Structure 1
Amino acid sequence: MTREVRAFAVTVLVLATLGIGAGLLWSAVSPRAPYQVTERGLVLADLSTQALIAADGWYAVITGGLGLLCGAAGWLAGRRWMLGVLAGLCVGGSAGAALTYWIGSTFTVGAATVEAAAVPGVKIVPGALALTANGVAVAWPLLAVGLFGLLEGMHGYRESSLRQPYGEGPLGGPLSGPLAGPSGGPLGGGDGSVRG
């Protein structure tokens, strides 16, 4: 049990640490929406700007890619402590996604430039990063847990007895044991019924 807890803690810590780097990367590559400085505060200067959608898209690409990477790495490295790693992917992915958002929206990496129509006497400033499509915030944990489950399901099926053709044993030879007939095949007729 302590190994499962340790695997959970290490997984959460690694994914949360990745969230810091992901937030800095999101801040570096995402464009900023142009805001106009007025007496009432900041107002979006260009209502047709694509910067808000681009910020959502970059967030989804970065966190979704990390989710797939973490899911595959977690399955390969932690198959002996699957429950702890799986729970760690869920909690750590959520923590990493939250840290990505907080770091990216708080710190500006590089020069934040905006494009807007130049109007004399109007000051245009870059806005902070934000998510307008909140659903992308679950991309990291969802893809990490989903890929982990898919890989485990494929591996479990490959080793399952359900893959063996009807009437063959696990090694591909004829079935042996109480259900085998005199010739090695299953007891019964062609209708599948077992005869005594």
Structure 2
Amino acid sequence: MARQVRAFAVTVLALAGLAVLAGLLWSALSPRAPYEVTRQGPILADPATQALIAADGWFAVVTGGLGVLCGAAGWFLSRRVQLPVLLALCAGGVLAAFVTLWVGSTFTLGAVTVEAAAVPGAQVVAGSLRLTARGVLVAWPLCAVAIFGLMEGMHGYRESPLRTPYGLGG
């Protein structure tokens, strides 16, 4: 039992640590939407900007790619404790997605300003990162669990007696 708990905890903590790097990478890659500073506060300077969608896309690419890598690494490293690692990939992936979101929206790296069609003389600043499509938060756990299951399915099929038709030797 202690082995399973340790495998679960180590996997969740590894994913949370990796999420800090993922947040910094997301912050460095994503463009920032332009905001115009007004008396009422900042408002979106260009409502037709694609920067908000690009930030969601980069979040999905970064977290989905890391989910694939974590799922494959989890499968290779967990031959004796697969169920706890699979559950940790799911729970740790959810935690990692939220940590990535927090780190990426808190720390600004490589802020790319997007030109906006603003009124001449208006002050335009790059906004902070945020997600407009909350569905991309499941990219990390979904990809990790899917790759883990796919690899286990291929491994199980290779060793299955059902692989040879009619029980013929092969």
Q: Is the 8 A contact 1:114 1:125 kept in 2?
A: no
Q: How far apart in 1 are the matches of 2:124 and 2:159? A: 62
Larger helix proportion of the pair: 2
In the other structure, the counterpart of 1:69 is: 69
In the other structure, the counterpart of 1:115 is: 115
In the other structure, the counterpart of 1:83 is: 83
Deviation at 1:50, TM superposition (A): 0.6
Identity of aligned residues (%): 70
Question: What SS does the aligned partner of 1:103 have?
Answer: helix
Q: How far apart in 2 are the matches of 1:118 and 1:164? A: 68
In the other structure, the counterpart of 1:46 is: 46
Question: What SS does the aligned partner of 1:80 have?
Answer: coil
Q: Any unmatched runs of 5+ in structure 1?
A: 174-196
Q: Is the 8 A contact 1:71 1:144 kept in 2?
A: yes
Question: What SS does the aligned partner of 2:37 have?
Answer: strand
In the other structure, the counterpart of 1:166 is: 166
Q: Is the 8 A contact 1:27 1:108 kept in 2?
A: yes
Quick check: which has more Rg, 1 or 2? Answer: 1
Q: Is the 8 A contact 2:45 2:118 kept in 1?
A: no
> 1:122-133 counterparts in 2 under 5 A?
122-133=122-133
Q: How far apart in 1 are the matches of 2:141 and 2:16? A: 11
Q: How far apart in 1 are the matches of 2:85 and 2:167? A: 38
Q: How far apart in 1 are the matches of 2:112 and 2:93? A: 28
Deviation at 1:113, TM superposition (A): 2.2
Deviation at 1:100, TM superposition (A): 0.5
> C-alpha deviations, 1:122-152, integer Å up to 9, x for none?
1111111111111110000011011101110
The alpha-carbon distance between structure 1 residues 36 and 167, as it changes in their structure 2 partners (threshold 3 A), is closer
Deviation at 1:112, TM superposition (A): 4.2
In the other structure, the counterpart of 1:137 is: 137
In the other structure, the counterpart of 2:21 is: 21
Question: What SS does the aligned partner of 1:36 have?
Answer: strand
Alignment: residue pair count: 170
1:32 and 2:32 matched: yes
TM-score by length of 1: 0.83
Deviation at 1:154, TM superposition (A): 1.1
Decide which moves more: 65-74 or 102-111. 102-111
In the other structure, the counterpart of 1:97 is: 97
Q: Is the 8 A contact 1:63 1:139 kept in 2?
A: yes
Letter in 2 for 1:109: L
Question: What SS does the aligned partner of 1:79 have?
Answer: coil
Deviation at 1:162, TM superposition (A): 1.0
Bigger relative contact order, structure 1 or 2 (CA pairs below 8 A, ≥6 apart):
2
In the other structure, the counterpart of 1:177 is: none
> 1:165-184 counterparts in 2 under 5 A?
165-168=165-168, 172=169
TM-score by length of 2: 0.96
